[in-house]
Structure 1
Amino acid sequence: MADQTIIDLLGESAEDLLQYRSTTVSKELLHVPGPDFIDRVFVQTNRSIPVLRSLATLFNYGRLAGTGYVSILPIDQGIEHTAGFSFAPNPIYFDPENIIRLAIEGGCNAVATTFGNLGMIARKYAHKIPFIVKINHNELLTYPTKYNQIMFGSVEEAWNLGAVAVGATIYFGSEESSRQIIEVSQAFERAHELGMATILWCYTRNSAFKTKDKDYHVAADITGQANHLGVTIQADIIKQKMPETNGGFEAVNFSKWHKDMYNKLATDHPIDLCRYQVLNCYMGRAGLINSGGESAGDTDLEQSVRTAVINKRAGGMGLILGRRAFQRPFEEGVKLLNLVQDVYGDSSITLA
């Protein structure tokens, strides 16, 4: 039985999430996280020895070291959402050292943040926690607002900072997606040449994906295809938002879909929706980490634990959670990160 704290936080949904048995794609077909994940999955790939070493560094740090699961603290919101908006609830995070401290004291596998943040304190912390450099961003100072990921530095500079991995975002479905796919593909190739792992924020962005009734930016079919494009450009780990619905292709009436995508490969249960995302990550050969989402205040603990349970039982590799941790007092942020990690450390919470 799962830890009582986890059960209590799940509340009325505890039984449904912890006891659910999926009847879609068998869990036996998945490449699930575990202590031997690198030997079992990545050793078979074209990744070089230095990349394998970087992945091992990532997997073997923090409270989840040696489990095959990861808990990553991502803080690039100072650019993506403006610094004032992001850090006003807790101004200590204007200082990048506190970002690194939160990741370390929170027991994370790694910290993912900007060139500027890591560059300012790299010599003090590069040997104390794995760095992931976010190499592109959408900035919000252009008026009128536009949504376009652009490079903020080079892969070589990420390597000079001592990073074990680079992270990048592609807005799949946007007008600029073709350029972003080419840029990020080239950056990931270079990162692998230098021995770094690659993590892709596989976000979807198109006004047509949002109808009067639903937001299909978080549909399992559309996000799943974004994941499939991400692993095609050789992302080692995929970051994706937790799916909340399905049938985006059919509802928006674009691209191609098969009825079995909705009838056999998924149901409306959140674990099955997330598992469809895992399927599109080469059945889990590339790890799926779901994002924590924006902070909702009092319900952050419950929602974060819920997301972790869904991701783990679907076959995912972990969570990448930022705002819910840093937009609260430091010690409370540490507690939240630890609670999420406890889900992945709980051996009674198994694949659905």
Structure 2
Amino acid sequence: MKLQVNDLLGADGDALLNYECTGITKESLHLPSPDFVDRVFMQSDRNPRVLVNLQRLFGHGRLQNTGYVSILPVDQGIEHSAGASFAPNPAYFDPENIVKLAIAGGCNAVASTFGVLGVVARSYAHKIPFIVKINHNELLTYPNTFDQIMFGRVQQAYDMGAAAVGATIYFGSVESSRQIVEVAEAFQKAHELGLATILWCYLRNSAFKADKDYHVAADLTGQANHLGVTLQADIIKQKLPENNGGYTALKCGKTSPLVYENLTSDHPIDLCRYQVANCYMGRSGLINSGGASAGAGDLAQAVRTAVINKRAGGMGLISGRKAFQRPMSEGVELLNAIQDVYLDPQITIA
């Protein structure tokens, strides 16, 4: 398996597979493992029903009982428009095919909207854990606005048999304070009902695009993660970091030079490790997003992201467009390739 991964990584293979982190060491992390719920969440204030649903997530699919997760997210029909999302493969206008892909692909769970999951709940809620995305940014308003608004109530997710709810906050946006309050209240209700919580900790502010796109800076996304775990998100979804130094470039907020001098480097695994550190050193799992589909290079890019996430101490990948914007058999192959990285004992923590 490692030879195949090395082939897909190309010239970056040695640098990614053999790197060892020294700034934040692996010994300081709470790493994914078969007993992660017992070892980490048992210490928390989560009630027994939350622990049951977390174990449902960890205990399903090809990665079952490893502590790692592979999730298929398909909320792009709202977030990016149905046409933009499903025109490359119109079969996925039908919600049943979304759930079928997650099952065939061996995923731990499927994450989607109230509508998608609700319309097939009686057929599939008992066959694969549902993660109901409770808020969205919709792009039909003209001119376009960028704001996450609630599309339903946590009780609806509970009633359809979901294992977890997901939500997005656009940290850094003018609307973020309201979103923080809404999501905090929703997550409290979710935990009360026994549902696990997953937070998409995204940055959104036009000022974050300067000489680089600092929406994917390790220091800024790391702080977004830290805000997310403060809201008691059990799992954090974040974009893979591509650069660093957002605080210093934008001259906003507060940081320490030690972040750049001691804790991180330019290496992608170090940048991702800083994201993990901000998730309470891995007590809340970090899953990185798979990103947009670029065509022929998707498989190699997905495997690269999985290697970085796993070796940094992350909990897995949540990859959608790379999987569903192609024939189902190819989508299954891509999802399985991601999972194979987490199943490979030779790919170790850096």
TM-score by length of 1: 0.99
| 2:2 and 2:347 in contact (8 A); partners too | no
Which residue of the partner structure matches residue 45 of structure 1? 44
| Percent identity for Structure 1 against Structure 2 | 70
Which residue of the partner structure matches residue 194 of structure 1? 193
Question: Equivalents in 2 of 1:24, 1:300: separation in Å?
Answer: 31
Please tell me the residue identity of whatever aligns with 1:111. Answer: V
Question: Equivalents in 2 of 1:228, 1:119: separation in Å?
Answer: 31
Question: Equivalents in 2 of 1:75, 1:26: separation in Å?
Answer: 34
Asked if 1:265 is matched to 2:266, the reply is no
Asked if 1:180 is matched to 2:179, the reply is yes
**1:218-276, Cα deviation, whole Å (9 max, x unpaired):** 00000000000000000000000000000001000000010001111100000000000
Question: Equivalents in 1 of 2:20, 2:3: separation in Å?
Answer: 21
Question: Equivalents in 1 of 2:222, 2:298: separation in Å?
Answer: 25
Question: Equivalents in 2 of 1:160, 1:215: separation in Å?
Answer: 40
Aligned residues: 350
The DSSP-based 3-state class of the residue aligned with 1:22 is coil
**1:272-308, Cα deviation, whole Å (9 max, x unpaired):** 0000000000000000000000001010000000000
Which residue of the partner structure matches residue 281 of structure 1? 279
The DSSP-based 3-state class of the residue aligned with 1:55 is helix
**1:121-157, Cα deviation, whole Å (9 max, x unpaired):** 1000010000000000000000000000000000000
Which residue of the partner structure matches residue 140 of structure 2? 141
Which residue of the partner structure matches residue 301 of structure 1? 299
Which residue of the partner structure matches residue 153 of structure 2? 154
Which residue of the partner structure matches residue 9 of structure 1? 8
Which residue of the partner structure matches residue 328 of structure 1? 326
Question: Equivalents in 2 of 1:4, 1:114: separation in Å?
Answer: 38
Question: Equivalents in 2 of 1:215, 1:247: separation in Å?
Answer: 11
Question: Equivalents in 2 of 1:64, 1:7: separation in Å?
Answer: 21
Q: CA deviation at 1:176?
A: 0.3
Question: Equivalents in 2 of 1:198, 1:131: separation in Å?
Answer: 12
Which residue of the partner structure matches residue 64 of structure 1? 63
The DSSP-based 3-state class of the residue aligned with 1:81 is helix
Please tell me the residue identity of whatever aligns with 1:342. Answer: D
| 2:220 and 2:247 in contact (8 A); partners too | yes
Which residue of the partner structure matches residue 22 of structure 1? 21
Which residue of the partner structure matches residue 342 of structure 2? 344
Consecutive unaligned residues in structure 2, runs of 5 or more: none
The DSSP-based 3-state class of the residue aligned with 2:254 is coil
Please tell me the residue identity of whatever aligns with 2:31. Answer: V
Structure 1's consecutive aligned runs of 4 or more residues displaced over 4 angstroms after TM superposition are none
Consecutive unaligned residues in structure 1, runs of 5 or more: none
TM-score by length of 2: 1.00
Please tell me the residue identity of whatever aligns with 1:165. Answer: A
Which residue of the partner structure matches residue 240 of structure 1? 238
Root mean square deviation of aligned Cα: 0.5
Question: Equivalents in 1 of 2:19, 2:310: separation in Å?
Answer: 12
Question: Equivalents in 2 of 1:3, 1:100: separation in Å?
Answer: 30
The DSSP-based 3-state class of the residue aligned with 1:144 is coil
Question: Equivalents in 2 of 1:171, 1:319: separation in Å?
Answer: 20
Which residue of the partner structure matches residue 213 of structure 2? 215
Q: CA deviation at 1:3?
A: 2.5
Question: Equivalents in 2 of 1:283, 1:23: separation in Å?
Answer: 15
Which residue of the partner structure matches residue 315 of structure 1? 313
Which residue of the partner structure matches residue 229 of structure 2? 231
Question: Equivalents in 1 of 2:221, 2:101: separation in Å?
Answer: 30
Question: Equivalents in 1 of 2:156, 2:79: separation in Å?
Answer: 20
